Structure 1
């Protein structure tokens, strides 16, 4: 019986990550990891960012007598750099998705373009260039999309992931049937993807991480409800 339960868990995890893999599927070369350089083809791209934008400490916990996790906030700031785009870059599309056993929700999808390098569409709060050839030091100027080797920093507005879809919601994250002194944990997979296109080429690079959200029903009295700030604020 134990073996069967383990198999079911593995199947659910595989299914969830297969869907997330669809969000993070590569159009050229892609590697997961902080600042991973996609070297399998040229041109190439890399993505980096503040880890605090994707993680909430070692074990974020909400203490709640009613078992509710009301919100999960995200506000990532990421650096995207590119190399060997002979005619520069035409556009950079940034996507962030969050998934659990209940499914996957796309939280952000925004496209920055060379036609308006200073534009901040949708949930993009600010966009700046990077000093040097992809160095991770933001400049005060807009990104130079025409650079052979260049990059940008994009900061996103703070968003509640539970309000962006039908999978990662208050209902799916909460555990309202917990008895006093019990806890329940939900693992969230977070995928950030950057698609960099120009010179007739497109390169995709991906960063992934997981966050465990725990709700605890204490044996005594506590304030009901709570939030988990998974952000860089």
Structure 2
């Protein structure tokens, strides 16, 4: 199998992230951490969340004598906020995708609406108001889509990214041809996008990070199999 160790150019990395983020939304190449609110009176959005939902820690390694990564789990928990939406918000679409040199797969795409603020469509496990500064009862309440400056929290069900498309799969992440004592690393881009719309206004914010998945074939005997978890828990 081909060597997966960081063999994509920087231009290829930006290209695959742009498949989801869109050039007009934000320049993704150096975006990390929290998406900042725009410093203007125009409608804007931001996204915050538990970094553990987007990252797998310090270069997780799967030790395997068959060079396989069986699964990559994601379970993001995020807060999306908006400002200067004079007529409130009608819908918030949340999308998460993962990409490598093999291509990009969409893992989640769900839309929350003012018409049904309690709804938890598809892979959304819960939706409510931000917890900071509010009582438990308030944070469990439906989000206030009518707010000019508002926010919501959304948690997603755990999903295996290798089951959601044809690009990021166990086969493309694995390196079956590793010799004894060799390692191979695949860098995954994880891109989260929130599209907020209401009253004819729209705002988009994108957050991105990378996860390095490393397979090691140690010298001597080893145990076959393994998985990498990317969890909010």
SS at match of 1:147: coil
> Alpha-carbon deviation of 1:18?
1.1
Distance (Å, rounded) in 1 between the aligned partners of 2:174 and 2:121: 32
Is 1:24 the counterpart of 2:21? The answer is yes
Q: Per-residue displacement from partner, 1:1-54 (whole Å, max 9, x unpaired)? A: xxxxxxx842xx423431321311166667743332241661111000000011
Distance in 1 between the 2:160 and 2:132 partners? Answer: 34
SS state at 1:172 partner:
helix
Q: What's 2:32 paired with?
A: 33
1:5 is aligned to none
Going from structure 1 to structure 2, the CA distance change for 1:226 and 1:164 (only over 3 Å counts) comes to same
Q: Deviations over 1:104-149 (max 9, x none)?
A: 1011000000000010000001001126899xxx811110101111
- The aligned runs of 1:53-202 (5 Å cut-off) are 53-130=53-130, 139-202=139-202
Cross-structure match for 2:11: 14
For 2:39 and 2:26, the matched residues in 1 are separated by: 6
* Distance across 1 between alignment mates of 2:125 and 2:32: 24
Which deviates the most, 157-166 or 39-48?
39-48
Q: Is the 8 A contact 1:26 1:204 kept in 2?
A: no
Q: Which runs of 5+ in 1 are unaligned?
A: 1-7
TM-score by length of 1: 0.89
Is the 2:93–2:196 contact (alpha carbons within 8 Å) kept by the matching residues of 1? yes
- In the TM superposition, what whole-angstrom CA distance separates every residue of 1:158-193 from its partner, at most 9, and x where no partner exists? 000000000000000000000111100000011100
Distance, in Å, in 2 between the alignment partners of 1:153 and 1:227 is 28
- Partners of 2:194 and 2:27 lie apart in 1 by 9
CA RMSD of aligned residues (A): 2.1
- The number of aligned residues is 221
Unaligned runs of 5+ in 2: 1-6
